[in-house]
Amino acid sequence: MSKRTHSCGEVSEDQIGQSVTLKGWVQKRRDLGGLIFVDLRDRNGIVQIVFNPDQSDELMVVGDKLRNEFVVEIQGEVVARQDGQVNPNMKTGKVEVIATKAAIINEAKNPPFAIENKTDVSEDLRLKYRYLDLRRPAMYETFKMRSDISRTIRNFLTDEQFLEVETPILTKSTPEGARDYLVPSRVHEGEFYALPQSPQLFKQMLMVSGFEKYYQIARCFRDEDLRADRQPEFTQIDMEMSFMSMDEILELNERMMQRVMKEVKGIDITIPFARMTYQEAMNRFGSDKPDVRFGLELIDLSDAMKDSSFKVFTSAIENGGQVKAINVKGASENYSRKDIDSLGEFASRYGAKGLAWMKVTEEGLNGPIAKFFEGEKATSLLESVDGESGDLLIFVADKPSIVADALGALRSKLGRDLQLIDESTFTFLWIIDWPLFEYDDQEGRYYAAHHPFTMPFEEDLALMDSAPEKVRAQAYDLVLNGYELGGGSLRIYSREVQEKMFSILGFSTEEAKEQFGFLLEAFEYGTPPHGGVAFGLDRMVMLLAGRTNLRDTIAFPKTASASDILTAAPSAVSDAQLKELSLSVQIQNDQKTDGDNA
Amino acid sequence: MSKRTHSCGEVSEDQIGQSVTLKGWVQKRRDLGGLIFVDLRDRNGIVQIVFNPDQSDELMVVGDKLRNEFVVEIQGEVVARQDGQVNPNMKTGKVEVIATKAAIINEAKNPPFAIENKTDVSEDLRLKYRYLDLRRPAMYETFKMRSDISRTIRNFLTDEQFLEVETPILTKSTPEGARDYLVPSRVHEGEFYALPQSPQLFKQMLMVSGFEKYYQIARCFRDEDLRADRQPEFTQIDMEMSFMSMDEILELNERMMQRVMKEVKGIDITIPFARMTYQEAMNRFGSDKPDVRFGLELIDLSDAMKDSSFKVFTSAIENGGQVKAINVKGASENYSRKDIDSLGEFASRYGAKGLAWMKVTEEGLNGPIAKFFEGEKATSLLESVDGESGDLLIFVADKPSIVADALGALRSKLGRDLQLIDESTFTFLWIIDWPLFEYDDQEGRYYAAHHPFTMPFEEDLALMDSAPEKVRAQAYDLVLNGYELGGGSLRIYSREVQEKMFSILGFSTEEAKEQFGFLLEAFEYGTPPHGGVAFGLDRMVMLLAGRTNLRDTIAFPKTASASDILTAAPSAVSDAQLKELSLSVQIQNDQKTDGDNA
């Protein structure tokens, strides 16, 4: 084996006249006029190799045997292509390599799908042959970008004096939050470790330790039912810092994202990012992660509609609900009655009982409910929604949460459908002033809106007992183009406040102590004020690489049923293994969990 | 809260006359002549704060309240210390800060042990209060170094065009190797994931994918009984590369270690590192990870002793064993008969039935077995071992493996006891030409000496069937100062050779296919030649930081019984959790697994 001198993708006019040794995969082979042309591929690109019978018979014997995906070593001379044969679509298209020696390093069966960016094979097949799927150049580019993003973040945080610290994967199960993955202990019979949902408590411990600035690109785990944008294991860019205000933390993260965008995408973005309160985001966009690259904002008509003659609106308001509208500017021609019906069906998935609508024409309002809005009422409504001829007005009247969900989702759909979004831009936005708690009507209890370690606003502390739902959290989320990139908060660092928090969340003193006793105790030994952030790396890669599937950002992802098709995990284990762990399996029903559609 | 302007450790003469805002922990407070002196500590160091009643009464009220480990914010002016008060032992010893404002950010109870480098409290107590233990400056320094090592390695590998790729933690259980940690699947009843013992198969898949250069600083897991230098989870610097020869791989890793030593320790080391075959290491040092910083090599006297009148030696040789000696140069005065007896006890822990010995005096050989070595025999022996007056000769006669183990261990002990080792030097050594297999007498089968994916020497392939024990592996270990830092190999990349390997290891065709079918199949689709390395990061940190306990290199380590004392993991989980996983616990005996001594 000779030493490789160049990669295929880097062969250029600079090497003309030089002898090179290349190693890579046969992308394509064709015979033409007694010559054999081979496109040789490695991770950096493709270069054309020419097998010419003038060189030697052995060479042509090797050339004849080549098939797609064979691994070969080529020695040859770089020459300029003749004028008519320059390929402007190829990075190496001005040159080719005249082979002088060639050797087959390894053969290949015909792959189950072509190694090309465009593919229409099923994702299951791609995952079964993941090692071939990852050969597609677009996949390699995504993982190159993932590596670049991680590196840029590490470099930035190192420059900012952060320490990388690794926290345990075998840790303790806690009932709050999502479902834990458990790991049975062999030594401690009947006991279990849990895989961490985040390094939260450990990074707070490191702040108690005076490490001051911690980061980790950390693997986290949640045993939840999967959706397209969820995986059982995911990667979190995790940081925590002491003695810094919220403003300082946000500013640091803005500079970090600025550097990522610059170094990875070559895009200059402006900082500081806009900030919006949770309440404003919900009011204007019906979402706590609004895509603010386009309008179609929600308009609150609850006041205006109190005295409407349209009972659907007034009864919603009487029951404590809202009436809100979106003015779909100039879109009245785009949507037939049937189209609008299907928007109504879409809205109903978010709990809306129906979608009211009107079109604005030269003659005034038009549509099934137009009769309730005539004369002055029409004028007043048009003024409220800035309505002009050609606009489509859509309304939802319901509980505030349903109005927000349904209109927020409709807004996103309309923005996409009407192509109102400039997909080439990246717009970051902080959402701040979150509620500390969410009240669960069904369970009749409060949940932590972020997590139980989030610091309330100082001025709201007095409300903790009387009106928990009004307490605001010193929490912040970073939203990019309508996706939550991550978030964080300042943390509680007083035992008293933390105990109050646990108590509102329904922990008894004993439960709090059993689960989080070490944290409460740590707070008594000189804990600095601290706060942090966690970003989802997988999602960040997805957005920056312009992918739509989270699995395309993970080298060996799991399917929707949490299986790895390639290695066939999970799998049965031996009785001996179970016995060592003091476990037995009790199958509870014979519902098969087949149907591994990714 | 004001913004911190400086860290405590960085206050210097450069700031004299400036106003600074510091935040940190009270290391010590003392009253002296109406003034209060506070040593304020943060992660970068300690600076002296002076509370002077001339400033304000409120200031003194705060100063009076301060106790060790209180978290405080200090504003003040940096001044030069008066001549007599300069403290040359302190980085900031030429200056002090005259406080103008002070505020207590958080109070602290008296900690269970002092926050000082020197400590004699039990490790259990340190682990229970790990957040305080990590405040000790020496601990912080170790984790700073760990972070620096990781960063240097990442930067080096990035410069070398390696991609960081994350591989799964939830993966498939395989029977070969150490015991797996298992993770029950909720979705697939009765099935389990396993935590990876290494990313081996995934990194090989990435090579099949044409990623060419992969690295990851990866968490790995082994459910084995723990020793001082083992943890259930550990971190591996993991890399794999295609199209590179063994020489190229070793050379790359030498440059990597050179850069780590330079950037982290400020030490220039010479490359290339020495290389020694496994056989030579065993012959000369009785160890496959010899510390070559000192002599005391093993001398093979098997030939010379064949005709000895000392039956212990001759019968060992007749039974296929060896007689080997160490000449402990000039040490005959250092070891009394009693001392030598205890060396014999030490040797017996490694299986030696006894330790024969003689001292060399001006008059000749001396000691219990000297009578067997008189006249010419003595002369010949002294010549073989280069014996001079004052030397102590020790001998072990037994099976080669026992001779190596016992004399190898004795050599290390003697080297330490006699302080023959220059502890300030770092000596790297490659061990090469490993056997591919080890034969297990008890089980009557072959095991892979490294792992089943290691490539045999091409020229030994013919021996695979006839004499597996003679087949050499294209494997290499890197040894530093007598510790195995890591190792690797070129990998098999042909289905045929891999199947042969599995068959020698006792896999049936079905078993091989079930466990590793995807690997065998992958080899058929154009697999490049590849190889890799994995280093233990924890151990690397331990050696470079000069620590003796692996747990001091891990922020939140487990005890010898695999417990986390801080968070109390593992722990019991609820019946509901078990039911969701279709599991029940079957305690097999009531042997308690208490006694959590770290």
Query: Which CATH number is B116-271+423-428+476-491+530-588's, of 3.90.1150.10, 3.40.50.10860, 3.30.930.10, 3.40.50.150?
Result: 3.30.930.10
Q: B452 to chain A nearest CA, in Å?
A: 17
Within 8 A by CB and 6+ apart from B431, the residues are B275, B276, B277, B278, B281, B288, B289, B476, B477, B479, B487
Q: B121 to chain A nearest CA, in Å?
A: 18
Question: 């409910």: which residue's tokens?
Answer: A369
Q: Residue B236: how many CB atoms within 10 A of its CB?
A: 21
Neighbour order of strands in the sheet with B298-300: B298-300, B322-328, B392-398, B356-361, B364-366
Select the residue of A108, A150, A242 nearest B526 (Cβ to Cβ): A108
- Binding residues of A for L-aspartate, by number, are 176, 222, 450, 491
CA distance A247 to A476: 11
Angle at A197 between CA A196 and CA A199, to 5 degrees: 65
Whether A580 and B179 lie within 8 Å, measured CB to CB: yes
What local confidence, expressed as pLDDT, does residue B327 receive?
Answer: 97
Residues of chain B with pLDDT under 50: 592-598
Question: In the CATH hierarchy, which fold is given to the domain comprising B8-106?
Answer: OB fold (Dihydrolipoamide Acetyltransferase, E2P) (2.40.50)
Average pLDDT over residues A98-122: 95
3-state secondary structure B268-330: CCCCCCEEEEHHHHHHHHCCCCCCCCCCCCEEECHHHHCCCCCHHHHHHHHCCCEEEEEEECC
What local confidence, expressed as pLDDT, does residue A228 receive?
Answer: 64
Q: Which of B570, B588, B598, B535 is nearest to B249 (CA)?
A: B535
- Reported as a pLDDT band with limits 50, 70 and 90, residue A593 is very low
- Reported as a pLDDT band with limits 50, 70 and 90, residue A31 is very high
Enter the DSSP assignment of B264: I
3-state secondary structure of A562: coil
pTM for the whole thing?
A: 0.95
CA distance B55 to B97: 13
Is residue B68 within 8 A of residue A525, CB to CB? The reply is no
| Domain edges within chain B | 8-106, 116-271+423-428+476-491+530-588, 294-421, 435-472+494-527
Whether A182 and B573 lie within 8 Å, measured CB to CB: yes
- Give bridge partners of residue A241 from the DSSP assignment: A213, A531
Is residue A562 within 8 A of residue B185, CB to CB? The reply is yes
- Neighboring chain A residues of B167 at a CB cutoff of 8 Å: 555-556
Q: Where are the alpha helices (DSSP H) in B480-591?
A: 495-504, 509-522, 537-544, 575-580
What local confidence, expressed as pLDDT, does residue B597 receive?
Answer: 42
Average pLDDT over residues A496-507: 95
Whether B593 and A522 lie within 8 Å, measured CB to CB: no
- Neighboring chain A residues of B540 at a CB cutoff of 8 Å: none
Select the residue of A219, A555, A567 nearest B169 (Cβ to Cβ): A219
What local confidence, expressed as pLDDT, does residue B412 receive?
Answer: 97
Select the residue of A4, A69, A562 nearest B187 (Cβ to Cβ): A562
Alpha carbon A477 to its chain's center: 14
CATH classification (class only), B294-421: alpha beta
What local confidence, expressed as pLDDT, does residue A173 receive?
Answer: 87
Residue of chain B nearest A165, judged by CA positions: B147
Taking 80 as the threshold, does the pLDDT of residue A81 lie above it? yes
Q: Where are the alpha helices (DSSP H) in A209-277?
A: 246-260
Average pLDDT over residues A515-521: 94
Backbone angles phi, psi at B419, to 5 degrees: 50, 45
Q: A206 to chain B nearest CA, in Å?
A: 6
Average pLDDT over residues A297-301: 97
- Reported as a pLDDT band with limits 50, 70 and 90, residue A596 is very low
Average pLDDT over residues A326-355: 95
Reading the block at residue B150, the tokens are 């990781």
- Neighboring chain B residues of A525 at a CB cutoff of 8 Å: 69, 108-109, 111, 129, 131-132
Backbone angles phi, psi at A241, to 5 degrees: -145, 150
- Neighboring chain A residues of B518 at a CB cutoff of 8 Å: 566-568
Average pLDDT over residues A549-558: 96
What local confidence, expressed as pLDDT, does residue B589 receive?
Answer: 63
Angstrom CA distances, B12 to A212, A346, A377, B21, B77, stand at: 21, 66, 74, 14, 12
Q: Choose the mutation target among B74, B166, B173, B513 for the interface with A, i.e. most A CBs under 10 Å.
A: B166
CA distance A171 to A191: 12
Q: Which of B193, B191, B199 is nearest to B173 (CA)?
A: B193
Is residue B596 within 8 A of residue B563, CB to CB? The reply is yes
What local confidence, expressed as pLDDT, does residue B228 receive?
Answer: 64
- Binding residues of B for ATP, by number, are 222-224, 231, 484, 536-539
3-state secondary structure of A152: helix
Whether A154 and B154 lie within 8 Å, measured CB to CB: yes
Task: Note the pLDDT tens digit of each residue in A245-260.
Answer: 999 999 999 999 999 9
Q: B446 to chain A nearest CA, in Å?
A: 22
- Neighboring chain B residues of A232 at a CB cutoff of 8 Å: 170
| Max Cα-Cα span within chain B | 94
- Binding residues of B, by number, are 176, 222-224, 231, 450, 484, 491, 536-539
Residue of chain B nearest A68, judged by CA positions: B526
Q: What is the dihedral of CA B535, B541, B546, B552, to 10 degrees?
A: -120
What local confidence, expressed as pLDDT, does residue B226 receive?
Answer: 74
- Neighboring chain A residues of B188 at a CB cutoff of 8 Å: 561-563, 570, 593
Q: B9 to chain A nearest CA, in Å?
A: 13
Taking 50 as the threshold, does the pLDDT of residue A180 lie above it? yes
Q: What is the DSSP string of B356-367?
A: EEEEEETTEEES
- Reported as a pLDDT band with limits 50, 70 and 90, residue A206 is very high
- Give bridge partners of residue A396 from the DSSP assignment: A324
Task: Give percent above pLDDT 70 in chain A.
Answer: 97
What local confidence, expressed as pLDDT, does residue A442 receive?
Answer: 87
Residue of chain B nearest A41, judged by CA positions: B210
Task: Give percent above pLDDT 90 in chain A.
Answer: 90
Whether A569 and B1 lie within 8 Å, measured CB to CB: no
Angstrom CA distances, A310 to A139, A353, A369, B547, stand at: 54, 15, 8, 78
What local confidence, expressed as pLDDT, does residue B1 receive?
Answer: 73
Taking 90 as the threshold, does the pLDDT of residue A1 lie above it? no
Taking 90 as the threshold, does the pLDDT of residue A271 lie above it? yes
CA distance B114 to B466: 65
What local confidence, expressed as pLDDT, does residue A590 receive?
Answer: 53
Backbone angles phi, psi at B430, to 5 degrees: -90, 135
Residue of chain A nearest B182, judged by CA positions: A183
